[in-house]
């Protein structure tokens, strides 16, 4: 029985991994329908909702027994309502879209184009999303809740290989500031200061000489008023 069940599970796993149209064209057997019914419930309990829904779709085919088919169809609809769905977008540091970026979720390739408007079913819980563009990668962690729909996961590339347009904007903030206008002024007052001091000294010297001459003139006038001039002394001698 265990060997038979293992074979059934292996057959269902191969069936689930194929596309749904292929499943429809190759109708599952009764044994495969029963195995899918049980496997889908196990996957749902483990939180693997995406794989569980695919498994239930396999046993919801018309070729399956009526009871199994009804259960699988109902389980598939229930899981579809609670499975999170997200879309992806990638941009460079300037905000330009990168539609050719590839997306990996938990190291599984999910998307190779981001401009088709598609959304993707992802199991609830924690995931690592990796965006790849031109050999450059950016990674982020997300947490999805059951029933979360329409979320956009954005990957931003700070720098891409071969993108030289980012060198110029980065050089501007690091450029040395222009020299302060105060620096050359520290040497400018030297010559005017010397000339000013020399001029001031000349003015002071002139004023001193002027004052000295005035004093000498006044001193001579006082002597003349007190003792007379030399001519007066000669005139006085002649009178005697």
pLDDT tens profile 26-62: 789 999 999 999 999 999 999 999 999 999 999 999 9
The pTM (predicted TM-score) of the whole model is 0.56
pLDDT for residue 159: 76
- The predicted-structure confidence for 123-141, as pLDDT tens digits, reads as follows 999 999 999 999 999 999 9
- 71 and 38 in a common domain: yes
Bridge partner list, 120? 86
Q: Does a structural domain hold residue 28?
A: yes
- The predicted-structure confidence for 79-93, as pLDDT tens digits, reads as follows 999 999 999 999 999
Number of folded domains that form the chain: 2
Q: What's the rounded mean pLDDT across residues 201-216? A: 49
Query: In the 8-state DSSP scheme, what is residue 116?
Result: S
- 64 and 12 in a common domain: yes
Q: How far is CA 41 from CA 35, 53, 76, in A?
A: 10, 9, 10
- 107 and 73 in a common domain: no
Q: Is the confidence at residue 180, as pLDDT, over 80?
A: no
Residues 6+ apart with CB under 8 A from 13: 39
- 152 and 112 in a common domain: yes
Instruction: Report whether 112 contacts 93 (CB < 8 A).
Output: no
What proportion of the chain, given as a percentage, has pLDDT over 70? 56
Instruction: Report whether 58 contacts 15 (CB < 8 A).
Output: yes
Q: How far is CA 45 from CA 49, 50, 202, in A?
A: 8, 12, 107
Query: What's phi and psi for 136, nearest 5 deg?
Result: -105, 140
pLDDT for residue 25: 54
- 13 and 60 in a common domain: yes
231 vs 95 pLDDT, higher one: 95
- 63 is in which domain, residue-wise? 2-82
């Amino acid at each position: 029985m265990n060997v038979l069940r293992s074979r059934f599970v292996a057959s269902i796993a191969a069936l689930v991994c194929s596309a749904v149209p292929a499943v429809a064209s190759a109708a599952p057997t009764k044994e495969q329908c029963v195995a899918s019914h049980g496997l889908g419930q196990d996957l749902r309990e483990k939180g693997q909702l995406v794989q569980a829904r695919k498994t239930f779709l396999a046993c919801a085919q018309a070729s399956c027994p009526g009871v199994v088919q009804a259960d699988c169809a109902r389980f598939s609809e229930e899981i579809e309502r609670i499975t999170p769905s997200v879309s992806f977008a990638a941009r460079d540091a300037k905000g330009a879209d990168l539609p050719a970026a590839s997306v990996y979720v938990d190291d599984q390739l999910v998307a190779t184009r981001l401009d088709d408007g598609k959304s993707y079913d992802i199991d609830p819980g924690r995931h690592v999303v990796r965006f790849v563009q031109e050999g450059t990668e950016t990674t982020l962690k997300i947490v999805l809740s059951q029933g979360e729909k329409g979320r956009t996961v954005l990957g931003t590339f700070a720098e891409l290989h071969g993108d030289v347009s980012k060198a110029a904007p980065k050089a501007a903030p690091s450029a040395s500031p222009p020299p302060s206008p105060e620096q050359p002024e520290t040497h400018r007052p030297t010559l005017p200061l010397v000339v000013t001091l020399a001029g001031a000294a000349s003015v002071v010297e002139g004023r001193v000489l002027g004052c000295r001459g005035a004093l000498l003139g006044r001193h001579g006038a006082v002597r003349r008023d007190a003792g007379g001039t030399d001519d007066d002394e000669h005139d006085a001698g002649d009178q005697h």
